A and B are shown apart, each in its own frame.
Chain A
Amino acid sequence: EVQLVESGGGLVQPGESLRLSCAASGFTFSSYWMYWVRQAPGKGLVWVSRISGDGSSTSYADSVKGRFTISRDNAKNTQYLQMNSLRAEDTAVYYCATSYSTIVAAPGGWGQGTLVTVSS
């Protein structure tokens, strides 16, 4: 069974940094694409970033490009989201997700999310 557990969320001030982690189990982590998706309070889901199984390919939403960095450690079955220069509009629940399969790239398994609040 796919299990994804996010951690690292919290309250930070505008301009500060935060690193989210997502610990994975129940599947061959290195063979799957991984995602970050966020949901601001009262708003819808928004795709943030994606990373390939070997970490060589990454992509970002325009709203976070240049500020956020996605990475993964396949030896630890963990992916990360380094968030710099945080803004109030980055306040959201951040979900970690894995591709449905090694062939189907669509986000399939999801974690419960971790809340990031950016406020002074």
Chain B
Amino acid sequence: GAGVSQSPSNKVTEKGKDVELRCDPISGHTALYWYRQSLGQGLEFLIYFQGNSAPDKSGLPSDRFSAERTGGSVSTLTIQRTQQEDSAVYLCASSLVGRRDRYEQYFGPGTRLTVT
């Protein structure tokens, strides 16, 4: 079946511009996660959506970052007034929740953001 898809695959933007990154999770997956991966760094958690619950935004680095998930499916991560330090690969993952023995997250290919 189809995996997690993300668009665009690459985005180059000028400092100060806003960008929107899109994630289509696996159909039926109730949980959706956004991570940021900087060069040589591990994955940094940004935000987590689970069903209709309020999202866990504890990982968002500043108020320039926001995300929404419409209809429990597609999610958009928005970065306002981009800065050079925002340059990274933004990864989206989805998973089934409720199975106590599984925490497997399925990742998309990522969006490589470059802020010039």
**Is chain B found bound to chain A in the same assembly?**
no
A contact residues vs B (CB 8 Å cutoff): none
B contact residues vs A (CB 8 Å cutoff): none
